Amino acid sequence: MFRSKRKSGSRDDSGAAADRQTARDARQRPARRITPQYLENSALHYLQRFSSSAEGVRQVLRRKLRHGDLDEDQTAEAERWIDAVVEKLTGLGLISDSGFAAARAASLHRRGTAVRGIRARLAAKGVDADTIAEAVDDLADRSGAETTRDLDLAAAVALARRRRLGPYRTQRRQEMRERDIAALCRGGFGLDLARQVVDAEDAEALLEG
């Protein structure tokens, strides 16, 4: 049986040619004109899709500057425009670090993130220490937790439930005990707390006791 040779105009060749053309088009595309209105529109479009801190919006807009043909002086001016946009949208209530931090802290906690991890993730988003502390305090008030350990216990149980660890396993529980404890420790929980959750007969009862 003879095999036919692939013609030079095959689909693979045409696809590679299309990729090369796309790359050339991108290089030849004129630089975007950066204006205050363009930056404001970009920020509004982003906020329609995502919740964000003020610093998060700044980072998004700074990435937009990379597509503009700006010299050093123009970049410095554009940075001032970015600050003005963030200040304006904050004044309108469209950007709120406290609101963002509270909502993100609650979401992370429900998914099983330890308080230490919540603090770290909010700090990475540019939220200042005082606002992070307020978000954690608000989380404790809403959940009825009296201590950070209470918050971590609830988060550890949530993570165990989501990952089916410890008491949420339907089989091989004892065999997987050490691995389950290690998973909780990697999640930011202390060894004692991880053991308490994994060894519990009923993890939900831990929250009631």
- Mean pLDDT, residues 180-202 taken together: 95
What percent of the chain is predicted at pLDDT more than 70? 85
Whole-number Cα distances in Å, 139 to 106, 119, 135, 144: 6, 12, 6, 8
Per-residue H/E/C for 161-175: HHHCCHHHCCCCCCC
pLDDT, tens digit, 9 for 90 and up, residues 95-107: 999 999 999 999 9
- What the block records as the tokens of 55 is 């610093």
Burial call 84-94: b when 16+ CB within 10 Å, e when fewer: ebbeebeeeee
- Band the pLDDT of 14: cuts 50, 70, 90: very low
pLDDT tens digits, residue range 129-139?
Answer: 999 999 999 99
- The 10s digit of each residue's pLDDT in 114-126 is 999 999 999 999 9
Residues 159-180 have a mean pLDDT of 94
Rounded average pLDDT over 17-42: 70
pLDDT of the residue at 2: 44
CA dist 209 and 202 (Å) reads 11
What is the per-residue pLDDT across 188-198, written as a single tens digit (0 to 9) for each? 999 999 999 99
What integer pLDDT is reported at residue 19 of this predicted model? 55
DSSP secondary structure string, 100-114? HHHHHHHHHHHTT--
> How high is the mean pLDDT of the chain?
87
What's 32's DSSP letter? B
How would residue 155 be classed by pLDDT, with cut points 50, 70 and 90? very high
For residues 155-166, average pLDDT: 95
Q: Is 52 helix (H, G, I), strand (E, B) or coil?
A: coil
